[in-house]
Amino acid sequence: MFRQFRCMASGRGSTALGTVSDIEQSQVIPTHHVHALCMSGPTASRPKQGDGDMPASGVQFGVWYLDTTLNAVIVADGQGGWRNPVTGAAV
C-alpha cells in the first residue's frame, strides 16, 4: 500500500517554509524537513477495512484524512464511516 501524506515543509531544507505537498509515505523522512500532517488522496482512496496498512478491525476512530476530491479534512468515526470534524456530519 502506497499511501500519500499531506506534508508541510519546515523551511530548513530546500523547500520554503509552509509549502504543502502530497508525498508517498516512504519519502516522509526527517531529512526532507517536512512534517506529515495526515493521509491524503481522492475519495476513492480513503483508508478502509482490509487495506494492508489498516488494522483488521478497520480504520480506528480519530484517523485524519485530507480528501482531495472534497478538498476537506475528514476524520474516521471508527465504525467504517468518515465525518466532518467541525459538524460531525457524515461525508
**pLDDT, tens only, 9-63:** 888 888 889 999 898 877 766 556 778 889 999 999 999 999 999 999 999 999 9
Q: Which residue has the cell 483488521?
A: 56
In a domain, 91, yes or no: no
* Cα distances (angstroms) measured from residue 10 to each of 3, 13, 33, 42: 21, 7, 6, 25
Query: What pLDDT does residue 10 have?
Result: 86
Query: What pLDDT does residue 51 have?
Result: 93
Total number of domains constituting the chain: 1
Q: Which domain, by its residues, includes 48?
A: 4-83
Query: What pLDDT does residue 85 have?
Result: 96
In a domain, 90, yes or no: no
Nearest partner of 63 among 37, 90, 26, 33, judged by Cα = 37
Query: What pLDDT does residue 31 have?
Result: 56
